[in-house]
Amino acid sequence: MEKRNALIAGATGLVGNSILQQLLADDQYEKVVIIARKPMEIKHPKLIHQLIDFDSIESIKLDFSVDDVFCALGTTIKTAGSQDAFYRVDYTYVVNLGKWCVSNTVKRFLIVSAMGANAESGIFYNRVKGEMEAAVSQLNIPQKQIFQPSLLMGNRTEKRSGEKIAQAVMGGLGFLFTGSLLKYKGIHADVVAKAMIKAAKSEAIGFTVYNSGELQGMGK
């Protein structure tokens, strides 16, 4: 079994934290690096905390190679405070992390995006996600994989009241989303994380985009 090292950006978020927990429990991964502005309380023999300034992602320096980079960076315009601040997190930080992957010969770059991502969209959020995906697709990384979940289910530390209401509704009506509607069904963060790790272990080469319905099947 090929041993690997991984790096996670966004490990404090819903999907990122699930990726972290699953990688720490996965014997195939020897080292797991989390990059963050502040240290997390979690400790584990193979976990490495790397404090960084995300405006200088290219400054990340490690004394070992990284095989897989999992990116779960993301915010909301409300949390970020402005469209410019949102763009910096959801586009600039992600694309710059991808450029770091290129410079450090990372084999796999796996990114949480969003359902509806489209560089031509009239909706700012969807357009930024689509522009990010387009930029990543051009990077010279052997495996680039994009994951587009629908409404994420799970318990956030960050309060998003509208999302809580949507989760409650989706939880009660989830049985209606079958067949072609499956991609619109709410999806648990643990399922997304499991699908991403499974995809990292696949033989896929090039640029691949997975919709939420596909993630439901992959993350079982």
- The SS3 assignment for 112 reads strand
pLDDT at 1: 75
Fold of the CATH domain 4-215 = Rossmann fold (3.40.50)
- As a residue count, the chain comes to 220
- pLDDT single digits (tens) 143-200: 999 999 999 997 645 554 444 434 443 444 444 345 444 445 789 999 999 999 999 9
pLDDT at 118: 97
DSSP 47: E
Q: What is the DSSP string of 39-96?
A: --S---TTEEEEE--GGGGGG---SS--SEEEE-----HHHHSSHHHHHIIIIIIHHH
- pLDDT single digits (tens) 34-87: 999 988 999 999 999 999 999 999 889 999 999 999 999 999 999 999 999 999
Q: Would the pTM of this model clear 0.75, i.e. be above it?
A: yes
Q: Where are the domains of the chain?
A: 4-215
